[in-house]
Amino acid sequence: MNMGRLGRFTMLKILKRALWLSGFVSIGAAPIFGAPLSLPSTPYTYTVLDQDLSAALQEFGNNLNVRMNVSPQVKGRIRGRMPDLPPREFLDRLTNLYNLQWYYDGLVLYVSSANEAQSRLLVLNALSFDEFKAALDALKISDERYILRSAPGDGIALASGPPRFIALVDQTLNGLIAEAQARPRAVPVDKPLHDSVLMLFRGASTTVIRNGRPEGTSEAPHEDKAARESAPGRGKD
């Protein structure tokens, strides 16, 4: 599940699905958790007198046809008979007894020491936390056992958990940010400014100046106000 290898089209589909799912997250619907680890419900019988813990986990995967990745930091030995438990409960018992964490990414079951857990502050940039969380849910990366929450301040999230979980959270965030940056942006169009109009009156003439440039001068119609003399009358009879 290497997010760096996803194409732009795939990432865009993920983001669209995340935006759709974020509506359910925001109204408090049940969240989606990590990839399901399908294990049989029948008891897993495992008897050992003295065996390395890492080897026992590898054998657990082999017996159940599950690919395993056991960290070198997983140390210890199993002595004595383990109780017959369903495989999931057997795995949880080992993690509790030996201070381990496990995470399944849909392909491989990763087991690491709890001392390897990581905490990270993530800068979301233009993404909202709900969009980011919805993308992790859609990709089945989220896991209720590990922390992912919005931190105080805008655009910050806190993630904490085993190394594989943190790596996938990082890769998802980087992929979503790269996709958002690759999308064409609308070029802002400057709105035309309102015309600046100035009218100058000089006597009977009017000059219009629009946006600092004169457009012309017009003459107002006027009447000849000069007094007219009466025409001289004809001589009296």
Position 79 pLDDT exceeds 80: yes
Provide the residue ranges of all domains of the chain, joining segments of one domain with +.
3-33+116-182, 50-114
Average pLDDT over residues 39-53: 85
pLDDT, one tens digit per residue, over 26-44 is 334 444 446 888 888 888 8
Burial 142-179 (b: 16+ CB within 10 A, else e): bbeebebebeeeeeebebebbbbbbbbbebbbebbbeb
Model-level pTM greater than 0.75? no
pLDDT top residue among 209 and 37: 37
- Specify whether the CB–CB gap between 100 and 164 falls below 8 A: no
pLDDT band at 237 (very low <50, low <70, confident <90, very high): very low
Instruction: Give me the CATH code for the 3-33+116-182 domain, please.
Output: 3.30.1370.120
| Residue 105 CB burial class (10 angstroms; 0-12, 13-18, ≥19) | buried
Asked which of 9-18, 119-128, 180-189, 197-206 is least confident by mean pLDDT, the reply is 9-18
pLDDT, one tens digit per residue, over 215-227 is 666 665 554 444 4
Q: Which fold has domain 50-114?
A: Phage tail protein beta-alpha-beta fold (3.55.50)
What angle is formed at CA 68 by the lines to CA 5 and CA 45, rounded to 5 degrees? 150
pLDDT, one tens digit per residue, over 109-119 is 999 999 999 99
